Amino acid sequence: MTDLLSSLPLRDVESPNRIAVSPMCQYSCATDGLPTEWHRVHLGSRAVGGAGIVMTEATAVDPVGRITPHDLGIWSDEHAAALEPTTEFVRDLGGVPGIQLAHAGHKASKTRPWDGNVPIAPDGTDPTGASGWEVLSPSPDAYPPFDGDRPAMRKADQDDIEGVIDAYRAAAERSLEAGFEIAEVHAAHGYLLHEFLSPVTNHREDDYGGSFENRTRLVREVVAAVREVWPDEKPVFVRISGTDWLDDRESWDIEQSVRLADALAELGVDLVDVSSGGLHPEQAVPGGPNFQVPLAEQVRAGADIAVGAVGGITEPEQADALVRNNRADLVLVGREFLRDPYFGLRAAGDLERDPKDAAKQWPVQYRRAAQR
Ligand code: FNR
């Protein structure tokens, strides 16, 4: 019986359990995209806390692809070198370091959430004095503002599209140098790749807009570029929004997600991480425990690929049931890992029958505390 504490083989990489830290932006860089002590402690703590996979936050492949000026980036060798101590630390603890490679598209150049999450104009600044920039969009006319304000946008032309693909490829090469074992392409939450996927935000009439084939072209080209440089023995994940939650109009939905997952499997993607929404403010998101699990389940049933479930998963038994009942292959935990950095150790304690087996999953330095 496969359960939450079962290892997860991913090509030649093996996660010691099926618990992953869901990518979570920390907005804690200066303005250079370089990790700080915050990132090292934040990611390191979750490795200490028993996560099998420790995924970074959305890490920008290009400075214009940052959500805020304070996002993490991987657009130079200096970034790769600065991330290396963290990947080494995670690996030393038996965890698997993953990186989420991201481009924020027309949701870029914003202030941090605690500064209001509003667009910063190219000639404007955020409260820290950091400048904004012109953002890239598949179709600026279709921009659906969450905040009532429009950023300065440019329609992506053929050169921009090729630049995005090249930036993803180079970022993957650098991620490998930095010691990451999993590359996750971020194609969810209304950021650039999702903006191309959804007919709500993609009104293009060229090879990248219109039909399913055309709207999925950019994500397929990006994934192919990443897979080209990512070694065969290491896994690639893709995070998608399973649906836009806009049933009242032509939008991105679960049927298209299943079709895309199949195409991604053919391109050598190992796991689809199924999130949802983030594209349009009128989205009707159900919320609550496991609210996105049915989407993951449908991808798992309809496409020949492993899936990750995420969203409203807070209890070890809840997560364990998802794996035991074949609803997901991996469970990603977001906010609960912020409340409890040791969620993985808690899961071992709650789920292992023999306390000695649970204690073995604790770092040796902490083992005396494992048994009460
Ligand atoms: C997020 N989320 C997120 N998702 C993503 O794909 N990349 C990211 O960088 C971020 N950043 C981020 C920051 C913070 C502070 C939160 C709370 C969330 C979404 C996150 O990964 C997850 O999918 C959701 O939070 C739902 O899962 P939980 O929190 O219910 O377990």
**pLDDT, tens digit (0-9, with 9 covering 90-100), for 211-235:** 999 999 999 999 999 999 999 999 9
**From the alpha carbon of 58, which atom of ligand 1 is closest?**
9
* Token duo for residue 210: 């219109």
Contact 269, 308 (CB under 8 A): no
Contact 307, 254 (CB under 8 A): no
Q: Whose CA is nearest to atom 5 of ligand 1?
A: 23
Residue-level pLDDT at 92: 97
Express as a percent the part of the chain with pLDDT over 70.
100
Ligand 1 touching residue 150 (CB < 6 A): no
* Beta-carbon-side half-sphere exposure of residue 330 (alpha carbons within 13 Å): 31
Contact 281, 193 (CB under 8 A): no
Q: What is the mean pLDDT of residues 124-138?
A: 98
Ligand 1 touching residue 210 (CB < 6 A): no
pLDDT digits (tens, 9 = 90+) for 30-43: 999 999 999 999 99
Distance between CA atoms of residues 236 and 270, nearest Å:
6
Q: Which of 19, 21, 25, 182 to mutate to test the pocket of ligand 1 (most atoms within 8 A of CB)?
A: 25
Task: Tell me: pLDDT of 70 over 90.
Answer: yes
Residue-level pLDDT at 59: 99
Contact 29, 72 (CB under 8 A): yes
Kindly give, in sequence order, each residue whose CB lies less than 8 Å from that of residue 159, ignoring residues fewer than 6 positions away: none
Q: Token match 């990750």: residue?
A: 308
Q: What dihedral angle (degrees, nearest 10) is formed by the CA atoms of 227, 232, 237, 243?
A: 60
Ligand 1 touching residue 99 (CB < 6 A): no
Element (H, E) at 215: helix 212-215
DSSP for 268-321, please give it: T--EEEEE---S-TT-----STTTTHHHHHHHHHHSSSEEEEESS---HHHHHH
Q: Token match 């932006």: residue?
A: 25
Q: Which residues are known to be catalytic?
A: 191
- In 3-state terms, what secondary structure has residue 327? coil
Mode of pairing for the β-strands spanning 330-333 and 135-137: unpaired
Please tell me the distance between residue 139's alpha carbon and the centre of ligand 1 in angstroms.
26
> What does the mean pLDDT of the chain come to?
97
Task: Tell me: pLDDT of 372 over 80.
Answer: no
Domains and CATH numbers, the chain: 8-370 (3.20.20.70)
Q: What is the mean pLDDT of residues 351-355?
A: 92
Residue 223, burial from CB neighbour count under 10 angstroms (0-12, 13-18, 19+): buried
Kindly give, in sequence order, each residue whose CB lies less than 8 Å from that of residue 109, ignoring residues fewer than 6 positions away: 64, 66, 68, 69, 119, 120, 122, 132, 133, 134, 135, 151, 152
Ligand 1 touching residue 58 (CB < 6 A): yes
Ligand 1 touching residue 226 (CB < 6 A): no
Mode of pairing for the β-strands spanning 8-10 and 13-15: antiparallel
Residue-level pLDDT at 327: 98
Q: Sorting pLDDT into bands at 50, 70 and 90, what band is 147?
A: confident
pTM: 0.98
**From the alpha carbon of 312, which atom of ligand 1 is closest?**
30
Ligand 1 touching residue 201 (CB < 6 A): no
Ligand 1 touching residue 113 (CB < 6 A): no
Q: Token match 């599209």: residue?
A: 161
Residue-level pLDDT at 114: 98
Q: Whose CA is nearest to atom 8 of ligand 1?
A: 24
**From the alpha carbon of 333, which atom of ligand 1 is closest?**
31
Ligand 1 touching residue 202 (CB < 6 A): no
Q: Which of 22, 25, 332 to mutate to test the pocket of ligand 1 (most atoms within 8 A of CB)?
A: 22
Please tell me the distance between residue 23's alpha carbon and the centre of ligand 1 in angstroms.
6
- Amino acid found at 258: V
Residue-level pLDDT at 198: 98
Distance between CA atoms of residues 49 and 41, nearest Å:
12
- Amino acid found at 173: E
* Token duo for residue 285: 């998101």
* Beta-carbon-side half-sphere exposure of residue 256 (alpha carbons within 13 Å): 20
Ligand 1 touching residue 154 (CB < 6 A): no
Please tell me the distance between residue 24's alpha carbon and the centre of ligand 1 in angstroms.
5
Q: Which of 19, 21, 24, 182 to mutate to test the pocket of ligand 1 (most atoms within 8 A of CB)?
A: 24
